[in-house]
Amino acid sequence: MLKSCQAMLRPIVRLLLKNGVMWKEFAELSKTVYVEVAGRDYGIGGRQTNASRVSILTGLTRREVKRRRDLLEGEPAPGLSKTSNATRLLSGWFQDPDFLGEDGAPMPLRREGRDASFDALHRRYGGDIPASAMLKELVKAGAVAEEDGWLRAISRYYMPDPLDPESVLRAGSVVNDLGSTVAWNLVRPEGAPSRIEGRATEPRVPTRRVAEFREFLEEHGQAFLELVDRWLHENRAGSGAAKKTVRLGAGIYMIENEDSAEKAGAEDNSA
Q: What is the pLDDT of residues 161-203, one digit of tens each?
A: 666 777 888 888 999 999 999 999 999 989 999 999 999 999 9
Same domain, 194 and 204: no
- Domain of residue 15 covers 1-75
Closest CA to 247 of 181, 168, 160: 181
pLDDT band for 48, please (50, 70, 90 cuts). Answer: confident
Where a domain ends, among 127, 153, 179? 153
Predicted confidence (pLDDT) at residue 14 exceeds the cutoff of 60: yes
Inter-helix orientation angle 23-41/62-73, to 10°: 90
Same domain, 205 and 263: yes
Residue 242 in domain: no
Residue 121 in domain: yes
Tens digit of each residue's pLDDT (9 = 90 or more) over 132-163:
999 998 998 889 999 988 999 998 878 776 66
Where a domain ends, among 22, 55, 75? 75
Closest CA to 93 of 103, 105, 102: 105
Closest CA to 86 of 141, 41, 22: 141
Same domain, 203 and 192: no
CB neighbour burial string for 236-266, b if at least 16 within 10 angstroms, e if fewer = eeeeeeeeeeeeeeeeeeeeeeeeeeeeeee
Same domain, 30 and 70: yes
Average pLDDT, the chain: 86
Under a CB-based contact definition with an 8 Å cutoff, are residues 255 and 199 in contact?
A: yes
Average pLDDT estimate for 38-54? 87
Same domain, 170 and 194: yes
CB neighbour burial string for 152-178, b if at least 16 within 10 angstroms, e if fewer = ebeebbbbbeeeeebeebbeeeeeeee
Under a CB-based contact definition with an 8 Å cutoff, are residues 86 and 94 in contact?
A: no
Q: What is the dihedral of CA 265, 268, 270, 271, to 10 degrees?
A: 170
Same domain, 36 and 48: yes
- Residue 267: the pLDDT is 42
In whole angstroms, what is the distance from residue 252 CA to residue 221 CA? 7
Considering its fold, how many domains does the chain have in total?
4
Same domain, 18 and 64: yes
Phi and psi at 80, nearest 5°, equal: -105, 10
Average pLDDT estimate for 78-85? 60
Q: What is the dihedral of CA 113, 119, 120, 125, to 10 degrees?
A: 180
Where a domain ends, among 75, 96, 115? 75
Under a CB-based contact definition with an 8 Å cutoff, are residues 227 and 211 in contact?
A: no
